[in-house]
Chain A
Amino acid sequence: MRTRTLRRASLEIVAVAVAVVVFVVPFLFMFLTASKDEFESADLTFALPTEWKVLDNIKGVFDARDGMLFTAFRNSIILTVVSVTILVVLCAMVGYVIQRRPGRAATIANALVLSGLIIPPAVVPTIWVLQQLHVFKTLPGLILVEVAFNMSFCVLLFRAFVAAIPRELDEAAMIDGCTGLSLFFRVIFPLLRPVTITVILTSSVFVFNDFVNPLYFLPGDENATVQLTLYNFMSQFDTQYNLLFMNIVLVTVPPLVLFIFFNRKIVAGMTSGAVKG
């Protein structure tokens, strides 16, 4: 018996060690490289910096290219906040009706939600449409894209959650004279709070981390997002790995903070609706 426990314990230690090496070392490497000076970071070794240059490098990466990273963070934050707000409101409404009122409309809506998950968006035609709407290469245009492309996933989360709210509640509220919009926003929406938080967290991560859509729909230095800026710095900081990796650390911090505080919610959201691998 004791040998079994011992074996178990040593197995566990091995498992933890392997996991740490495989999953944690890359992050440590990011952080260490981001803390070195330019010369040392060029060696790309996995070693402590002789001198910690964290603040210098933060300053350096924000100063680069006329403070482009400031613009990028501002754009990414606007993009994320506005897209997610719109997503929450629109998808909650859809998720509610789609679940409560089955019929042909719901069948079609469900089919569309599914298509949204599976079909790869047609890039150039989307650009063409955005151009017709005069929002190509603008932040509002990209917000529309993010809303449209993330909609299916959010509707699914809401639909599933609405199913767990007893219909009696709607009926009780109806008797109080609430209908339609006011019923929804005064009675149902507050009840959706838990799933709303999940939706906010997961879709924020998706939108903030999105690279492909800004690449196609919001090109141009002046309206870069953090992911695009990082991508551009990849070739520009070919010799300044400290700044490149500081930039990587900076774009990794927001999801890390969310993850530390809302671990369970994020996991719940991702596993229950994720089609985003």
Chain B
Amino acid sequence: MGNNKNQISIEEVGRVAQLARIELTSAEKEKFSRDLSAILDYVDQLDEIDVSTVAPTSQVTGLKNVLRQDVVVGFDQAQLLVRLASTSQENYIKVKSVF
């Protein structure tokens, strides 16, 4: 650590990991802090390009607003999907209380 232009601290990694809902060990936080700093240094080279007049590309083949009829299609495998959950009751997926 220390030589990177971008310094992503261990605390910052912990905060981001919490947002991403991943519990990290302190060893992981330290490693990812180093990796993240190095990767951000690498991607900093994009700053060399002036993109002030360039439009972003989000859909590369130019498709726009692909629409379809809003019709109900039957699905008879609901039980199969419910069974994939770790806990279920009757035909419902059981989850921990949200509040």
Note whether A and B form a binding pair.
no
Query: What is A's interface to B at a CB cutoff of 8 Å?
Result: none
Query: What is B's interface to A at a CB cutoff of 8 Å?
Result: none
